[in-house]
Amino acid sequence: MHLPSNEPFAGIPLAAPPSAAATPAARRCPRCGTGFAADAVFCIHDGTALLSDRAAQTLTGTLVAGQFLVEARLGEGGMGAVYRAVQVRMARPCALKVLRRDVASDSSTVARFRREASNSSQLFHPNIAALYDFGETSDGLFYLAMELVEGETLTTLVAREGALAPLRAASIVRQVADALAVADEHGVVHRDLKPDNVLLVPRRDGSDLAKVVDFGIAKATRVEGQRITRTGVVIGTPAFMSPEQLAGESDLDGRSDQYALGLIAFELLTGARAFPARTFGEATRRMVAEPPKLAEHRPDVAWPPGLQQVIDRALALDRTQRWPTATAFGAAFAQTIQAWQVPGSVAPGLAPGLAPGLAPGLAPGLAPGLMATPAVMRQRLIVIGAALLVLIAVVVVLTLI
């Protein structure tokens, strides 16, 4: 939006930017970066509310909401920036997520930001980064103060070490599954679960404590009359999105996050991404072409009977065919690996002595309803794939509109 310099904006005169001979800019537009005099309120170019020159560039060194002393900038996303801060009265370190001013001008985005805070405040679990506080400052700055998790992301870990030891992978997957189950109980879907959003904190005994972070695009799924993310708008990371999420469906539930966890589990075991993709179309084509196989990525490993089927069920294109809960998937995954790695253990759904001679296919009790002939399964994949591609085309058109 372009406004002439002599036209009032919301009843407040718009000041012109200072001349080259004038004193340094006291206020600055966070969108276009133009500097203004101290008495300016809105940018003459785009109408964005101005910040102090320092605050427009960084909040480092400032006191937010009278209680959070900002120490350093940690990163930036589509909705805003994240800072390391200290809650002064509690002397407690935290991660301060601040909504960008230009983004805050959109009412639907602010609604989603508030919804995130409301949702996250209900989630109490050792494997979820806690929310400490949220609100809006007197000058219109929206913020979230969250637990500062000082750990390593799964992305960094796998990049450094490659495939993890199976028992370690099982422990991580089970912890993340438990976190997702709690979120699902409160009607919250993460929508962007990926290795970057799972951090590992070392315990005293050397084991991993997994923490799921950034419910930044979480959505309440059981709030009647409200749809913060409208149908047709795709939010998430393509390589870890479920078929229904890629299709832009609005009625997502915990099974969508379970699908993402299935992809993470595959990556932890193989050190390779199941569906490497940068676009929605590429992700969809890979997804419907062929399910990822452990043996193809790690032919050097004698994978146990049933493990591929456990993952396949989590990655079912039809979400009604997935595990009923993330906890069920996490338990089956961990127990199957334990039965393989720990002598004397028995995998779920497998009778003792049956596993060594188990024919290729689905293990008894693991995936009822998924026994389809190759021809039927291929036909089903083609139909689902075509539907997904059509829906994604609609998403692209809606985005352009």
Give residue-wise pLDDT tens across range 52-66.
Answer: 655 555 788 999 999
Does the pLDDT at position 40 exceed 60?
A: yes
Same domain? 76 vs 29: no
Same domain? 159 vs 216: yes
Of all residues in the chain, what percent carry a pLDDT higher than 90? 42
Same domain? 101 vs 201: no
Handedness of CA 56, 60, 66, 68 (dihedral sign): positive
Is 396 among the domain residues? yes
Residue 9, φ and ψ in degrees, nearest 5: -120, 115
Q: Domain containing 17: what range?
A: 1-57
Q: What are the pLDDT digits (tens) for 352-361?
A: 333 333 333 3
Per-residue b or e along 244-272, where b marks 16 or more CB atoms closer than 10 Å to that residue's CB: bbbbbbeebebbbbbbbbbbbbbbbbbeb
Is 93 among the domain residues? yes
Same domain? 224 vs 170: yes
Same domain? 100 vs 52: no
Domain count, the chain: 3
Final residue before a domain boundary, out of 111, 129, 147: 147
CB 149 within 8 A of CB 131: no
Is 359 among the domain residues? no
Same domain? 282 vs 165: yes
Question: pLDDT band for position 110 (50/70/90)?
Answer: confident
Is 297 among the domain residues? yes
CB 362 within 8 A of CB 370: yes
Q: What are the pLDDT digits (tens) for 2-28?
A: 443 333 333 333 444 444 444 456 777
- The rounded mean pLDDT for the chain is 76
Binding site, annotated residues: 97
* CATH number of the domain encompassing residue 196: 1.10.510.10
Is 253 among the domain residues? yes
Same domain? 320 vs 239: yes
Same domain? 384 vs 285: yes
Binding site, annotated residues for ATP: 97
Same domain? 195 vs 123: no
Give the active site residues: 192
Final residue before a domain boundary, out of 36, 57, 78: 57
- The residues that bridge with 33 in the sheet, in sequence order, are none
Judge if pTM exceeds 0.75.
no
